Amino acid sequence: MRLEIDKGRLVSEIETLASISDAEAPAVTRIVFSPADLRARAWLKARCAEAEAELVVREDAIGNTFVRWAGTDPSAPAVGTGSHIDAIPNAGKYDGVVGVLGGLEAIRALERSGFRPKHSIELLVFTSEEPTRFGIGCLGSRMLSGVLSPDAARKLKDSDDTPLDAVLEGAGFSGELERVRLSSDHYKAFVELHIEQGPLLEQHQIRLGVVTSIAAPASLRILLEGSGGHAGAVLMPERHDALCAAAELILVVENAARASGAPDTVATVGICEVFPGAVNSIPSRVRLSADIRDVDLQRRDAVMRKIEDAAQGIAERRRVSIRTEPLNADAPAGCAPVVIDALSESCRKHGLKFLSMVSRAYHDSLFMSRIAPTGMLFIPCRKGYSHRPDEYASPEDIARGTLVLAEALAALSR
Ligand code: GLV
Ligand code: MN
Ligand code: MN
């Protein structure tokens, strides 16, 4: 089998997909089920239709897209690969996209080499890996793995308060959410190619990372309610300013992570919405979202408790109400030895060094690991930058990652 990656076509596809965006280049914004996301999905399906391999496309009720290259034993469990194409506001071109277009190119390269899999190889494009629209990430893979039930999904509303069902209908998805969940024998294995989103590969000058575990994310929505009023007329002793309480709490979040004693604990407040948002009006309501992560579940949960306890203290002292709502609190995932071995062996076969590493970002693989032996392959991104417009992965690194992915898919699907 002589595997050759068509680097030129792959890179030009990444550029084209980046141009389907609601932000001005080089930034990419592609929120799930926005017109840009729907155009990107249509563009991708057209690429699958013109691929050298014969690919069958299916979409489920939450909009996950499955692109199947049938194996010689079509009823055997498939080998899955893939990632996401939705992008947070003001993002870069590579997060998720490398795993989707790299996965497609891996299948095309295998077909060109004359390889025929026994187990079907299935490219998966997950719906809403990013939490931007519905507040929780990995919507598609949570449902595929049964971590999010159809009833819980139906309760989700987007940032404009539109229920998920209505958003899905508007986007043209009408099937039953009950049918999204996959059985645990659907996949023999799942492997996701992704940019590292951190600086370690670059610092070690190693071009590939084989992931051994994925850190556990949790997020909290925090609603603060004080009392508003005239910024001139209400004197300071009478104030119950929701934003001042929020400011204290934001620093609690930062300090709780810093004080955990481990560099692996991170916490971020990335959303702060102030009502009514007028310069001469005391803030009466604030909505914060906090994101807390660690590779150690107990330590992560201790930080969550610290934030919740501090919130009650601030509420009493400032006489405002503070309500914390956990949106998700997921457990970390270990990658499966069978996938780690396939990826490591593929690197060795091509004479490539790799680093064994932890994924600090979360990925759809976190949830796929609940229903299939799962692993991930990382390529470097410049300075570790991600979730920003200057995110960059070189064509050589993208092609190298795609080659190792293709080799691993071949090994897993024989
Ligand atoms: C995924 O985008 C993450 O926030 O880790
Ligand atoms: Mn992302
Ligand atoms: Mn991603």
pLDDT interval class at 51 (50, 70, 90): very high
pLDDT interval class at 413 (50, 70, 90): very high
What is the share, in percent, of the chain residues with pLDDT greater than 70? Answer: 100
Rounded to whole angstroms, the Cα distance separating 56 from 58 reads 7
91 lines ligand 1 (CB under 6 A): no
Q: For residue 216, what pLDDT is reported?
A: 84
Q: For residue 181, what pLDDT is reported?
A: 98
Pairing of strands 374-379, 187-195: parallel
- Burial call 244-278: b when 16+ CB within 10 Å, e when fewer: bbbeebbebbeebbeebeeebbbbebebeebeeee
Amino acid (one-letter) located at 126 = F
Report the pLDDT averaged over residues 258-266: 94
Cis upstream peptide for 276 (omega within 30°): yes
Residue spans of alpha helices (H) in 90-230: 97-113, 139-144, 150-154, 164-171, 200-204
126 lines ligand 1 (CB under 6 A): no
Residue nearest ligand 1's atom 5 by CA: 361
CB atoms near residue 169 (< 10 Å) = 11
Rounded to whole angstroms, the Cα distance separating 198 from 220 reads 24
The model's pLDDT over 6-30, given as tens digits with 9 standing for 90+, comes to 999 999 999 999 999 999 999 999 9
302 vs 98, 309, 335, CA distance in Å?
35, 11, 24
Q: Which atom of ligand 1 is nearest to the CA of 95?
A: 2
Angle between helices 97-113 and 35-49 (to 10 degrees): 10
Residue 290 has pLDDT above 90, yes or no: yes
Place of tokens 């809403």: 128
Task: Collect all residues with Cβ–Cβ distance below 8 Å to 355 and sequence separation of at least 6.
Answer: 200, 201, 204, 206, 208, 209, 210
Rounded to whole angstroms, the Cα distance separating 362 from 396 reads 25
Residues pairing with 294 in the sheet: 216
The model's pLDDT over 105-117, given as tens digits with 9 standing for 90+, comes to 999 999 999 999 9
Report the pLDDT averaged over residues 130-155: 97
What is the share, in percent, of the chain residues with pLDDT greater than 90? Answer: 98
115 φ/ψ angles, rounded to the nearest 5 degrees = -65, 140
Residue nearest ligand 1's atom 2 by CA: 130
CB 189 within 8 A of CB 79: yes
Positive or negative CA dihedral for 167, 171, 172, 178? Answer: negative
The model's pLDDT over 344-383, given as tens digits with 9 standing for 90+, comes to 999 999 999 999 999 999 999 999 999 999 999 999 999 9
To test the pocket of ligand 1, the residue of 134, 362, 365, 378 to mutate (highest count of ligand atoms within 8 Å of its CB) is 362
Q: For residue 1, what pLDDT is reported?
A: 86
Report the pLDDT averaged over residues 146-173: 97
To test the pocket of ligand 1, the residue of 197, 376, 378 to mutate (highest count of ligand atoms within 8 Å of its CB) is 197
Residue 90 has pLDDT above 90, yes or no: yes
Name the closest ligand to CA 387.
2
Residue 245 has pLDDT above 90, yes or no: yes
Residue 48 has pLDDT above 90, yes or no: yes
CB atoms near residue 67 (< 10 Å) = 26
What separation in Å is there between the alpha carbon of 81 and the centre of ligand 3?
Answer: 14
